[in-house]
Amino acid sequence: MIDDAIRVLAGDCTVIAEDADREEYRGRVTTIVKPDNTVLIHDSDGYQPVAWLTRADSVSSERHDGFTLVAKKDTQTLRIAAHEQEGFAHYPSSAAGTPVGECPDCGGALVRSSGVHCVGCGDRYGVPADATIRDERCDCDCGLPKMRVERGLAFNVCLDRGCESLDAAVKAEFDREWACPEAGCDGDLRILRRGGLIAGCEHYPDCDTGFAVPAGVVDGECGCGLPTFETASGVRCLDATCDRALEGPLEAESSADD
């Protein structure tokens, strides 16, 4: 199990990197072992590590006639032997991100990096990639910031989905709002979560029609009968494969008349 600590070994060390070839270095270096078992060995020359091993399968330490770190990945081995050890320590770490507020539980900084997490207590909140974190705080007692997410409409909901559910808000607006476009099907599209939010036929599995709900705001109707969305990359149909995804209703009707 990988923890969230960065391990640091500093001192006069011999570094041996073995794969198809064998390379050996010696000097006063600093070895950094990241939580994902990436090992980086830095000296005083330049910005690039002297040697490294990305996401090692294992990193172990040995205490026999000195201190040694051994990292292995497939056929690669990286061995760092300290002849004179200046220090070895574990330091707490977290992903660094853009500050978006203050944690209401511990007062630590909330930062955005693959979601939102607290640098202090480590609380984490899943956030859609297109969400905008707002200065506005949630109306309930949680004290967390709100986020703005576009899924058919622009929704302002709490970071904590257990407090205020984005899924529930989208479902309240668009569940059964659109008819299934499959020929001969009389079903409506339900708002469901299947990895992401989808609009899927209520008659599943007899009808497996379903579409991912895009990040955007409904702004009209496509020629195929499904809604169009104004997105960051332009107007598109709910059905991303629709041939008329960029056509407005009038253009679609004109094409049909032709």
CB–CB of 227/212 below 8 Å?
Answer: no
Rounded to whole angstroms, the Cα distance separating 82 from 128 reads: 45
Per-residue confidence (pLDDT) for residue 247, from 0 to 100: 46
CATH number at residue 57: 2.70.180.20
Which of 26-30, 64-68, 111-115 has the least mean pLDDT?
64-68
- Are 83 and 135 in a shared domain? no
Phi-psi region of 244 (alpha: psi -120 to 50; beta: other; left: phi over 0): alpha
Which are the contacts of 152, defined by CB distance < 8 A and separation ≥ 6?
Answer: 170, 173, 174, 213, 216, 217, 218, 227, 229
Question: Contacts for 162-171 with beta carbons within 8 Å, 24 or more apart?
Answer: 163/138, 164/138, 164/140, 166/128, 167/191, 167/193, 167/197, 170/197, 170/213
Mean of per-residue pLDDT scores for the chain: 89
Rounded to whole angstroms, the Cα distance separating 34 from 244 reads: 49
- Are 11 and 79 in a shared domain? yes
Query: Band of the pLDDT at 257, cuts 50, 70, 90?
Result: very low
- Are 42 and 112 in a shared domain? no
- Are 87 and 102 in a shared domain? no
- Are 156 and 176 in a shared domain? no
Q: Where are the alpha helices (DSSP H) in the chain?
A: 166-174, 249-257
- Are 190 and 252 in a shared domain? yes
- Are 83 and 134 in a shared domain? no
pLDDT digits over 8-32, tens only?
Answer: 999 999 999 999 999 999 999 999 9
Per-residue confidence (pLDDT) for residue 4, from 0 to 100: 81
Which are the contacts of 161, defined by CB distance < 8 A and separation ≥ 6?
Answer: 125, 126, 167
Per-residue confidence (pLDDT) for residue 64, from 0 to 100: 66
- Are 81 and 104 in a shared domain? no
pLDDT digits over 23-65, tens only?
Answer: 999 999 999 999 999 999 999 998 999 999 999 999 998 776 6
- Are 85 and 32 in a shared domain? yes
CB–CB of 166/193 below 8 Å?
Answer: no
- Are 20 and 38 in a shared domain? yes
For range 69-95, the mean pLDDT: 91
Domain boundary among 163, 189, 208: 163
Per-residue confidence (pLDDT) for residue 94, from 0 to 100: 86
pLDDT digits over 125-171, tens only?
Answer: 999 999 999 999 988 888 899 999 999 999 999 999 899 999 999 99
Give the CA angle between residues 50, 52, 56 to the nearest 5°: 165
Domain boundary among 135, 163, 191: 163
Helices (H) and strands (E) in the chain, counts: 2, 19
* Domain with 176 in it: 172-257
Q: Is the pLDDT of residue 107 over 60?
A: yes
- Are 124 and 178 in a shared domain? no
CB–CB of 48/40 below 8 Å?
Answer: no
- Are 9 and 88 in a shared domain? yes
For range 232-253, the mean pLDDT: 69
Q: Domains in the chain: how many in total? A: 3
Domain boundary among 92, 123, 151: 92
Query: Beta partners for 22?
Result: 18
